[in-house]
Amino acid sequence: TPKEVTIEKDKVYKTDEWMNTPSTILSAIPRRLHLQQDHPIAITRQLIESRFPNYKCHNTLFPVVTVEQNFDSLGFPADHIGRSRTDTYYLNKDTVLRTHTSAHQADTFRANESAGYLISADVYRRDAIDRSHYPIFHQMEGAMTWDRDSLDASTSLKQAVWADVAKIPAHSIDVEDASPTSHPERNPLQECHSAEEVEAIAAHLKRSLEDVVVAIFNAASRAAVAAGETPASPDEPLKVRWVEAYFPFTSPSWELEVFWQDDWLEVLGCGIVKQDIMSHAGVPNRLGWAFGLGLERIAMLLYSIPDIRLFWSTDARFLSQFSSAAPIRRFVPFSKYPTCFKDVSFWLRSSSSAAGGLSRNALSPVDFHENDVMEIARDVCGDLVEDVRLVDEFVHPKTGRKSLCYRTNYRSLERTLTNDETNQLHERFRQQLVEKLGVELR
Protein backbone atom coordinates (compact mmCIF):
# COMPACT_ATOMS: atom_id res chain seq x y z
CA THR A 1 0.00 0.00 0.00
CA PRO A 2 1.14 3.54 -0.73
CA LYS A 3 2.28 5.66 2.28
CA GLU A 4 -0.15 8.39 1.42
CA VAL A 5 -2.95 9.08 -1.02
CA THR A 6 -3.80 12.33 -2.75
CA ILE A 7 -7.40 13.03 -3.59
CA GLU A 8 -8.48 15.82 -5.94
CA LYS A 9 -4.93 17.10 -6.52
CA ASP A 10 -4.29 18.61 -3.11
CA LYS A 11 -5.88 16.63 -0.31
CA VAL A 12 -3.25 14.31 1.10
CA TYR A 13 -3.97 11.54 3.59
CA LYS A 14 -1.40 9.43 5.41
CA THR A 15 -2.31 5.77 5.17
CA ASP A 16 -1.74 3.04 7.75
CA GLU A 17 -2.60 -0.64 8.17
CA TRP A 18 -6.31 0.27 8.02
CA MET A 19 -6.00 1.39 4.38
CA ASN A 20 -8.16 -0.86 2.20
CA THR A 21 -9.29 1.48 -0.56
CA PRO A 22 -8.21 0.32 -4.02
CA SER A 23 -7.04 2.78 -6.65
CA THR A 24 -10.04 1.93 -8.84
CA ILE A 25 -12.31 3.42 -6.17
CA LEU A 26 -10.06 6.43 -5.57
CA SER A 27 -9.95 7.25 -9.25
CA ALA A 28 -13.76 7.25 -9.51
CA ILE A 29 -14.16 9.92 -6.80
CA PRO A 30 -14.07 12.85 -9.27
CA ARG A 31 -16.94 11.43 -11.36
CA ARG A 32 -19.77 12.94 -9.26
CA LEU A 33 -22.59 11.52 -11.30
CA HIS A 34 -25.17 13.48 -9.31
CA LEU A 35 -23.72 16.71 -10.77
CA GLN A 36 -23.22 15.54 -14.35
CA GLN A 37 -25.52 17.46 -16.68
CA ASP A 38 -28.32 15.25 -18.09
CA HIS A 39 -27.13 12.17 -16.21
CA PRO A 40 -30.09 10.11 -14.90
CA ILE A 41 -28.75 10.35 -11.32
CA ALA A 42 -28.60 14.14 -11.60
CA ILE A 43 -32.08 14.33 -13.13
CA THR A 44 -33.48 12.15 -10.34
CA ARG A 45 -31.82 14.43 -7.79
CA GLN A 46 -33.37 17.50 -9.40
CA LEU A 47 -36.80 15.91 -9.52
CA ILE A 48 -36.68 15.25 -5.77
CA GLU A 49 -35.17 18.66 -4.99
CA SER A 50 -38.06 20.31 -6.81
CA ARG A 51 -40.44 18.89 -4.17
CA PHE A 52 -38.52 20.74 -1.40
CA PRO A 53 -38.48 24.33 -2.68
CA ASN A 54 -37.30 26.05 0.52
CA TYR A 55 -34.63 23.58 1.53
CA LYS A 56 -30.97 24.43 1.17
CA CYS A 57 -29.19 21.99 -1.19
CA HIS A 58 -25.65 20.82 -0.48
CA ASN A 59 -24.29 18.96 -3.48
CA THR A 60 -20.51 19.27 -3.27
CA LEU A 61 -19.60 17.96 0.18
CA PHE A 62 -16.26 16.15 0.11
CA PRO A 63 -16.45 12.31 0.35
CA VAL A 64 -13.52 11.77 2.72
CA VAL A 65 -14.75 12.08 6.31
CA THR A 66 -13.61 11.10 9.76
CA VAL A 67 -14.78 8.01 11.63
CA GLU A 68 -16.22 10.55 14.07
CA GLN A 69 -18.38 12.12 11.36
CA ASN A 70 -19.47 8.87 9.74
CA PHE A 71 -20.11 6.82 12.89
CA ASP A 72 -19.35 8.35 16.32
CA SER A 73 -21.35 11.56 15.91
CA LEU A 74 -24.38 9.47 14.94
CA GLY A 75 -24.23 7.18 17.95
CA PHE A 76 -23.04 4.02 16.19
CA PRO A 77 -21.86 1.57 18.86
CA ALA A 78 -18.14 0.74 18.91
CA ASP A 79 -18.76 -2.81 17.67
CA HIS A 80 -21.21 -1.94 14.89
CA ILE A 81 -20.59 -4.10 11.81
CA GLY A 82 -20.68 -1.02 9.56
CA ARG A 83 -17.37 0.08 11.07
CA SER A 84 -15.50 -3.04 9.96
CA ARG A 85 -12.89 -3.01 7.23
CA THR A 86 -14.87 -5.65 5.39
CA ASP A 87 -17.75 -3.17 4.92
CA THR A 88 -16.15 0.27 4.84
CA TYR A 89 -13.31 1.84 2.84
CA TYR A 90 -10.66 3.27 5.15
CA LEU A 91 -7.71 5.50 4.24
CA ASN A 92 -6.38 5.21 7.79
CA LYS A 93 -7.66 4.38 11.24
CA ASP A 94 -9.52 7.69 11.59
CA THR A 95 -10.50 8.40 7.99
CA VAL A 96 -13.04 6.75 5.70
CA LEU A 97 -14.90 7.30 2.47
CA ARG A 98 -18.38 8.20 3.75
CA THR A 99 -20.74 5.24 3.77
CA HIS A 100 -23.82 7.46 3.89
CA THR A 101 -24.80 11.10 3.60
CA SER A 102 -25.72 11.06 7.30
CA ALA A 103 -21.98 11.61 7.88
CA HIS A 104 -22.75 15.31 7.31
CA GLN A 105 -25.75 15.57 9.63
CA ALA A 106 -23.99 16.93 12.69
CA ASP A 107 -21.96 19.50 10.72
CA THR A 108 -25.00 20.67 8.78
CA PHE A 109 -27.08 21.06 11.93
CA ARG A 110 -24.15 22.91 13.52
CA ALA A 111 -23.93 25.36 10.61
CA ASN A 112 -27.64 26.06 11.23
CA GLU A 113 -28.10 27.89 7.93
CA SER A 114 -31.60 26.77 7.10
CA ALA A 115 -34.44 24.90 8.82
CA GLY A 116 -34.62 22.41 5.96
CA TYR A 117 -31.73 21.00 3.95
CA LEU A 118 -30.92 18.34 1.37
CA ILE A 119 -27.52 16.69 0.85
CA SER A 120 -26.82 14.70 -2.32
CA ALA A 121 -23.53 12.88 -2.63
CA ASP A 122 -21.55 9.84 -3.68
CA VAL A 123 -21.24 7.19 -0.92
CA TYR A 124 -18.96 4.15 -0.71
CA ARG A 125 -19.51 0.63 0.59
CA ARG A 126 -17.76 -2.69 0.15
CA ASP A 127 -20.50 -5.05 -0.94
CA ALA A 128 -21.65 -7.90 -3.16
CA ILE A 129 -21.48 -7.72 -6.96
CA ASP A 130 -24.75 -7.97 -8.82
CA ARG A 131 -26.98 -5.85 -11.02
CA SER A 132 -28.21 -3.67 -8.17
CA HIS A 133 -25.03 -3.26 -6.10
CA TYR A 134 -22.01 -1.14 -6.89
CA PRO A 135 -19.33 -0.03 -4.40
CA ILE A 136 -20.07 3.62 -5.17
CA PHE A 137 -23.61 4.91 -5.23
CA HIS A 138 -25.47 8.14 -4.52
CA GLN A 139 -27.71 9.10 -1.64
CA MET A 140 -29.86 12.04 -0.79
CA GLU A 141 -30.32 13.02 2.81
CA GLY A 142 -32.95 15.51 3.91
CA ALA A 143 -33.82 17.11 7.22
CA MET A 144 -36.27 19.65 8.61
CA THR A 145 -36.05 21.12 12.09
CA TRP A 146 -38.00 23.56 14.22
CA ASP A 147 -36.48 25.82 16.85
CA ARG A 148 -38.21 25.95 20.23
CA ASP A 149 -36.56 29.34 20.87
CA SER A 150 -37.94 31.13 17.85
CA LEU A 151 -41.63 30.47 18.61
CA ASP A 152 -43.71 33.38 19.82
CA ALA A 153 -45.20 33.00 23.29
CA SER A 154 -48.68 32.03 22.08
CA THR A 155 -47.61 29.20 19.72
CA SER A 156 -46.45 25.76 20.83
CA LEU A 157 -44.00 23.76 18.77
CA LYS A 158 -46.61 21.23 17.77
CA GLN A 159 -48.90 24.02 16.54
CA ALA A 160 -46.10 25.47 14.45
CA VAL A 161 -45.38 22.04 12.95
CA TRP A 162 -49.04 21.31 12.18
CA ALA A 163 -49.27 24.69 10.44
CA ASP A 164 -46.41 23.57 8.20
CA VAL A 165 -48.03 20.18 7.60
CA ALA A 166 -51.06 21.99 6.17
CA LYS A 167 -48.83 23.59 3.50
CA ILE A 168 -47.74 20.26 1.96
CA PRO A 169 -49.70 19.40 -1.20
CA ALA A 170 -52.44 16.78 -0.72
CA HIS A 171 -52.31 13.49 -2.65
CA SER A 172 -54.71 10.63 -3.30
CA ILE A 173 -52.45 7.60 -3.01
CA ASP A 174 -53.20 4.63 -0.84
CA VAL A 175 -51.05 4.83 2.31
CA GLU A 176 -50.89 1.97 4.79
CA ASP A 177 -49.56 3.01 8.19
CA ALA A 178 -50.42 0.18 10.53
CA SER A 179 -48.01 0.68 13.43
CA PRO A 180 -48.40 3.41 16.02
CA THR A 181 -46.14 6.46 15.55
CA SER A 182 -44.00 5.19 18.41
CA HIS A 183 -43.80 2.05 20.49
CA PRO A 184 -42.26 1.91 23.98
CA GLU A 185 -40.02 -1.09 23.18
CA ARG A 186 -39.76 -1.38 19.43
CA ASN A 187 -39.66 2.28 18.40
CA PRO A 188 -39.44 4.53 21.44
CA LEU A 189 -40.01 8.24 21.85
CA GLN A 190 -37.02 10.17 23.18
CA GLU A 191 -37.40 11.36 26.76
CA CYS A 192 -37.14 15.01 25.80
CA HIS A 193 -39.95 14.84 23.19
CA SER A 194 -43.66 14.81 23.93
CA ALA A 195 -45.91 12.35 22.11
CA GLU A 196 -47.81 15.28 20.56
CA GLU A 197 -44.65 16.90 19.22
CA VAL A 198 -43.51 13.65 17.65
CA GLU A 199 -46.97 13.06 16.21
CA ALA A 200 -46.80 16.44 14.45
CA ILE A 201 -43.21 16.04 13.23
CA ALA A 202 -43.92 12.50 12.01
CA ALA A 203 -46.95 13.79 10.08
CA HIS A 204 -44.78 16.45 8.43
CA LEU A 205 -42.11 13.89 7.58
CA LYS A 206 -44.53 11.34 6.19
CA ARG A 207 -46.55 13.82 4.14
CA SER A 208 -43.37 15.36 2.69
CA LEU A 209 -41.98 12.00 1.63
CA GLU A 210 -45.29 10.70 0.30
CA ASP A 211 -45.31 13.80 -1.90
CA VAL A 212 -41.85 12.86 -3.23
CA VAL A 213 -42.91 9.31 -3.97
CA VAL A 214 -46.05 10.49 -5.78
CA ALA A 215 -43.94 12.79 -7.97
CA ILE A 216 -41.50 9.98 -8.80
CA PHE A 217 -44.07 7.34 -9.55
CA ASN A 218 -46.26 9.67 -11.61
CA ALA A 219 -43.20 10.44 -13.72
CA ALA A 220 -42.44 6.71 -13.97
CA SER A 221 -45.93 5.77 -15.08
CA ARG A 222 -46.03 8.60 -17.65
CA ALA A 223 -42.77 7.18 -18.99
CA ALA A 224 -44.31 3.71 -19.16
CA VAL A 225 -47.37 4.97 -21.00
CA ALA A 226 -45.22 6.97 -23.42
CA ALA A 227 -43.31 3.76 -24.17
CA GLY A 228 -46.59 2.07 -25.06
CA GLU A 229 -46.57 -0.14 -22.01
CA THR A 230 -49.54 -0.54 -19.76
CA PRO A 231 -48.45 0.51 -16.29
CA ALA A 232 -48.24 -2.39 -13.83
CA SER A 233 -51.77 -1.83 -12.56
CA PRO A 234 -53.59 0.84 -14.57
CA ASP A 235 -56.69 1.07 -12.39
CA GLU A 236 -55.10 0.81 -9.01
CA PRO A 237 -53.62 3.87 -7.38
CA LEU A 238 -50.05 3.78 -6.17
CA LYS A 239 -49.74 1.91 -2.87
CA VAL A 240 -47.16 2.79 -0.22
CA ARG A 241 -46.69 1.70 3.36
CA TRP A 242 -44.81 2.87 6.45
CA VAL A 243 -43.03 0.25 8.54
CA GLU A 244 -41.06 0.51 11.77
CA ALA A 245 -37.28 0.65 11.39
CA TYR A 246 -34.14 1.16 13.41
CA PHE A 247 -31.23 3.58 12.93
CA PRO A 248 -28.76 4.54 15.67
CA PHE A 249 -29.37 8.25 15.00
CA THR A 250 -33.17 8.52 14.91
CA SER A 251 -36.00 7.44 17.20
CA PRO A 252 -38.68 6.60 16.41
CA SER A 253 -37.63 5.46 12.91
CA TRP A 254 -39.51 4.26 9.83
CA GLU A 255 -39.04 2.96 6.33
CA LEU A 256 -41.21 3.79 3.36
CA GLU A 257 -42.02 0.96 0.97
CA VAL A 258 -43.72 1.19 -2.40
CA PHE A 259 -45.69 -1.58 -4.10
CA TRP A 260 -43.91 -1.90 -7.43
CA GLN A 261 -44.11 -4.76 -9.93
CA ASP A 262 -45.78 -7.13 -7.47
CA ASP A 263 -43.43 -6.52 -4.59
CA TRP A 264 -42.88 -4.18 -1.67
CA LEU A 265 -39.77 -2.14 -2.43
CA GLU A 266 -37.92 -0.28 0.30
CA VAL A 267 -37.27 3.29 -0.87
CA LEU A 268 -36.04 5.23 2.12
CA GLY A 269 -35.23 5.29 5.84
CA CYS A 270 -36.12 8.14 8.17
CA GLY A 271 -36.99 9.18 11.70
CA ILE A 272 -36.95 11.78 14.44
CA VAL A 273 -33.38 13.03 14.90
CA LYS A 274 -31.78 12.01 18.20
CA GLN A 275 -31.60 15.06 20.41
CA ASP A 276 -28.01 14.18 21.38
CA ILE A 277 -26.92 14.99 17.84
CA MET A 278 -28.56 18.42 18.05
CA SER A 279 -27.01 19.08 21.45
CA HIS A 280 -23.53 18.11 20.32
CA ALA A 281 -24.05 20.27 17.24
CA GLY A 282 -24.77 23.29 19.45
CA VAL A 283 -28.46 23.55 18.54
CA PRO A 284 -30.10 21.81 21.53
CA ASN A 285 -33.39 23.64 21.05
CA ARG A 286 -33.98 22.43 17.52
CA LEU A 287 -35.90 19.25 16.85
CA GLY A 288 -37.04 17.58 13.70
CA TRP A 289 -36.77 14.75 11.21
CA ALA A 290 -34.25 13.31 8.73
CA PHE A 291 -34.45 10.85 5.86
CA GLY A 292 -32.00 9.11 3.52
CA LEU A 293 -32.65 7.53 0.14
CA GLY A 294 -30.64 5.85 -2.61
CA LEU A 295 -30.74 7.72 -5.91
CA GLU A 296 -29.71 4.72 -8.07
CA ARG A 297 -32.61 2.62 -6.90
CA ILE A 298 -35.09 5.37 -7.72
CA ALA A 299 -33.46 6.18 -11.04
CA MET A 300 -33.49 2.48 -11.99
CA LEU A 301 -37.24 2.27 -11.57
CA LEU A 302 -37.93 5.69 -12.98
CA TYR A 303 -36.13 4.86 -16.24
CA SER A 304 -36.25 1.02 -16.16
CA ILE A 305 -32.48 0.81 -16.07
CA PRO A 306 -31.64 -2.89 -15.70
CA ASP A 307 -28.05 -2.82 -14.43
CA ILE A 308 -26.43 -0.42 -11.97
CA ARG A 309 -23.12 -0.45 -13.89
CA LEU A 310 -24.83 1.47 -16.69
CA PHE A 311 -24.72 4.66 -14.60
CA TRP A 312 -20.94 4.62 -14.96
CA SER A 313 -21.01 4.16 -18.71
CA THR A 314 -19.64 6.93 -20.87
CA ASP A 315 -21.14 5.35 -23.98
CA ALA A 316 -23.29 7.81 -25.94
CA ARG A 317 -25.84 5.06 -26.52
CA PHE A 318 -26.54 5.32 -22.77
CA LEU A 319 -25.99 8.99 -22.00
CA SER A 320 -27.84 10.40 -25.03
CA GLN A 321 -31.11 8.88 -23.80
CA PHE A 322 -31.44 11.30 -20.88
CA SER A 323 -32.29 14.97 -20.82
CA SER A 324 -33.30 17.23 -17.97
CA ALA A 325 -35.28 19.36 -20.43
CA ALA A 326 -37.56 16.57 -21.71
CA PRO A 327 -40.09 14.42 -19.85
CA ILE A 328 -38.73 11.19 -18.43
CA ARG A 329 -38.66 8.37 -20.97
CA ARG A 330 -37.92 4.69 -20.51
CA PHE A 331 -34.35 3.64 -21.17
CA VAL A 332 -34.12 1.53 -24.34
CA PRO A 333 -31.38 -1.06 -23.81
CA PHE A 334 -28.91 -1.29 -26.64
CA SER A 335 -28.53 -4.89 -27.64
CA LYS A 336 -27.70 -7.18 -24.79
CA TYR A 337 -24.26 -8.66 -25.24
CA PRO A 338 -23.64 -12.30 -24.36
CA THR A 339 -22.65 -13.37 -20.90
CA CYS A 340 -20.05 -15.96 -20.07
CA PHE A 341 -19.72 -17.59 -16.67
CA LYS A 342 -16.72 -19.23 -15.07
CA ASP A 343 -16.28 -20.94 -11.73
CA VAL A 344 -13.38 -20.82 -9.33
CA SER A 345 -13.02 -23.23 -6.39
CA PHE A 346 -10.54 -22.85 -3.61
CA TRP A 347 -9.63 -24.03 -0.14
CA LEU A 348 -9.69 -21.40 2.57
CA ARG A 349 -6.63 -20.97 4.67
CA SER A 350 -6.96 -22.80 7.97
CA SER A 351 -5.66 -21.19 11.16
CA SER A 352 -2.67 -23.53 11.37
CA SER A 353 -1.48 -22.95 7.82
CA ALA A 354 -1.89 -19.21 8.33
CA ALA A 355 0.28 -19.06 11.42
CA GLY A 356 3.52 -19.20 9.52
CA GLY A 357 2.12 -18.25 6.16
CA LEU A 358 1.02 -15.19 4.30
CA SER A 359 -0.43 -12.39 6.30
CA ARG A 360 -2.91 -10.43 4.25
CA ASN A 361 -3.21 -7.69 6.83
CA ALA A 362 -2.04 -7.15 10.35
CA LEU A 363 -5.54 -6.92 11.78
CA SER A 364 -7.21 -10.19 10.84
CA PRO A 365 -4.79 -12.67 9.31
CA VAL A 366 -7.16 -15.64 8.91
CA ASP A 367 -10.55 -14.03 8.53
CA PHE A 368 -12.22 -14.65 5.23
CA HIS A 369 -14.88 -12.23 4.09
CA GLU A 370 -16.82 -12.52 0.86
CA ASN A 371 -16.46 -8.78 0.21
CA ASP A 372 -12.74 -9.38 -0.33
CA VAL A 373 -13.56 -11.75 -3.19
CA MET A 374 -15.92 -9.13 -4.61
CA GLU A 375 -13.29 -6.46 -4.44
CA ILE A 376 -10.68 -8.56 -6.20
CA ALA A 377 -13.20 -9.25 -8.96
CA ARG A 378 -13.86 -5.52 -9.32
CA ASP A 379 -10.20 -4.74 -9.25
CA VAL A 380 -9.29 -7.22 -11.97
CA CYS A 381 -12.39 -6.93 -14.17
CA GLY A 382 -13.74 -3.44 -13.54
CA ASP A 383 -17.24 -3.16 -15.00
CA LEU A 384 -16.85 -6.33 -17.10
CA VAL A 385 -18.06 -8.43 -14.18
CA GLU A 386 -21.85 -8.58 -13.86
CA ASP A 387 -22.20 -10.73 -10.81
CA VAL A 388 -20.27 -12.99 -8.47
CA ARG A 389 -22.11 -15.61 -6.48
CA LEU A 390 -21.25 -18.40 -4.07
CA VAL A 391 -22.52 -21.59 -5.74
CA ASP A 392 -20.99 -24.29 -3.55
CA GLU A 393 -19.56 -24.75 -0.12
CA PHE A 394 -17.88 -27.90 1.19
CA VAL A 395 -16.13 -28.92 4.39
CA HIS A 396 -13.67 -31.79 4.11
CA PRO A 397 -14.85 -34.54 6.52
CA LYS A 398 -11.31 -35.47 7.62
CA THR A 399 -9.30 -32.27 7.57
CA GLY A 400 -12.16 -29.90 8.39
CA ARG A 401 -10.88 -27.57 5.68
CA LYS A 402 -13.47 -25.50 3.90
CA SER A 403 -13.76 -25.07 0.19
CA LEU A 404 -15.85 -22.50 -1.67
CA CYS A 405 -16.88 -22.21 -5.28
CA TYR A 406 -17.77 -18.83 -6.77
CA ARG A 407 -19.41 -18.33 -10.14
CA THR A 408 -18.49 -15.17 -12.00
CA ASN A 409 -20.59 -13.79 -14.84
CA TYR A 410 -18.59 -11.80 -17.35
CA ARG A 411 -20.41 -9.40 -19.63
CA SER A 412 -19.71 -6.00 -21.10
CA LEU A 413 -22.64 -3.62 -21.43
CA GLU A 414 -21.06 -2.11 -24.51
CA ARG A 415 -19.66 -4.92 -26.67
CA THR A 416 -19.12 -8.68 -26.99
CA LEU A 417 -16.16 -9.96 -25.01
CA THR A 418 -13.86 -12.41 -26.77
CA ASN A 419 -13.10 -15.83 -25.27
CA ASP A 420 -9.49 -14.85 -24.88
CA GLU A 421 -10.44 -11.79 -22.96
CA THR A 422 -12.69 -13.60 -20.46
CA ASN A 423 -10.14 -16.38 -20.04
CA GLN A 424 -7.47 -13.83 -19.24
CA LEU A 425 -9.70 -11.94 -16.82
CA HIS A 426 -10.62 -15.15 -15.06
CA GLU A 427 -7.03 -16.33 -14.83
CA ARG A 428 -5.96 -13.02 -13.29
CA PHE A 429 -8.90 -13.18 -10.89
CA ARG A 430 -7.78 -16.68 -9.78
CA GLN A 431 -4.18 -15.58 -9.30
CA GLN A 432 -5.20 -12.52 -7.29
CA LEU A 433 -7.33 -14.68 -4.99
CA VAL A 434 -4.22 -16.71 -4.20
CA GLU A 435 -1.99 -13.69 -3.84
CA LYS A 436 -4.28 -11.50 -1.78
CA LEU A 437 -6.30 -13.99 0.23
CA GLY A 438 -3.82 -16.84 0.46
CA VAL A 439 -6.38 -19.40 -0.69
CA GLU A 440 -5.42 -22.62 -2.43
CA LEU A 441 -7.00 -23.19 -5.84
CA ARG A 442 -8.56 -26.60 -6.47
Count of Cβ atoms closer than 10 Å to residue 282 Cβ = 12
CB of 253 to ligand PHE, least distance (A): 6
| Contact flags string 290-319 toward ligand PHE, x per CB under 6 A | xxx---------------------------
Taking the least distance from each CB to ligand PHE, the nearer of 270 and 302 is: 270
Phi and psi (nearest 5°) for 149?
Answer: -70, -25
Pick the stretch among 47-55, 108-116, 286-294, 433-441 that binds ligand PHE (CB under 6 A). 286-294
Per the DSSP assignment, residues forming a β-bridge with 143 are: 117, 290
CB of 209 to ligand PHE, least distance (A): 11
Taking the least distance from each CB to ligand PHE, the nearer of 124 and 429 is: 124
Taking the least distance from each CB to ligand PHE, the nearer of 5 and 270 is: 270
CB of 246 to ligand PHE, least distance (A): 10
Per the DSSP assignment, residues forming a β-bridge with 117 are: 56, 143
Residues 127-146, buried b or exposed e (16+ Cβ, 10 A)?
A: bebbeeebbbbbbbbbbbbb
| Residue 102 interacting with ligand PHE (CB under 6 A) | yes
Taking the least distance from each CB to ligand PHE, the nearer of 5 and 143 is: 143
CB of 295 to ligand PHE, least distance (A): 12
Total number of residues binding ligand PHE (CB under 6 A)? Answer: 11
| Residue 55 interacting with ligand PHE (CB under 6 A) | no
Crossing angle of helices 295-303/40-49, nearest 10°? 100
Residue selected from 70, 108, 145, 250 as contacting ligand PHE according to rule CB under 6 A: 250
Residue selected from 45, 95, 104, 141 as contacting ligand PHE according to rule CB under 6 A: 141
CB of 114 to ligand PHE, least distance (A): 17
CB of 289 to ligand PHE, least distance (A): 8
Pick the stretch among 58-66, 266-274, 275-283, 346-354 that binds ligand PHE (CB under 6 A). 266-274
Residue selected from 271, 277, 360, 410 as contacting ligand PHE according to rule CB under 6 A: 271
Pick the stretch among 86-94, 112-120, 175-183, 268-276 that binds ligand PHE (CB under 6 A). 268-276
Q: Are 48 and 34 in contact (CB under 8 A)?
A: no
Cα angle value 98/101/105 (rounded, 5°) = 110
What is each CA distance from 28 to 31, 173, 212, 382, in whole angstroms?
A: 6, 39, 29, 11
What does DSSP assign to residue 32?
A: -
Residue of this chain nearest to ligand PHE (CB atom) = 292
Burial of 266 (0-12, 13-18, 19+ CB in 10 A): middle
Closest C-alpha among 148, 68, 60, 143 to residue 108? 143
Instruction: Return d(Cα 312, Cα 378) in angstroms, integer.
Output: 14
Taking the least distance from each CB to ligand PHE, the nearer of 179 and 353 is: 179
Cα angle value 8/10/12 (rounded, 5°) = 95
CB of 45 to ligand PHE, least distance (A): 16
Taking the least distance from each CB to ligand PHE, the nearer of 145 and 250 is: 250
What is each CA distance from 382 to 86, 264, 421, in whole angstroms?
A: 19, 31, 13
Q: Which residues contact 188 (CB under 8 A, 6 or more apart)?
A: 182, 251, 252
What SS3 state is found at 189? coil
CB of 302 to ligand PHE, least distance (A): 20
Pick the stretch among 18-26, 210-218, 267-275, 399-407 that binds ligand PHE (CB under 6 A). 267-275
The residues of the shown chain that bind ligand PHE, judged by CB under 6 A, are 100, 102, 141, 247, 250, 269-271, 290-292
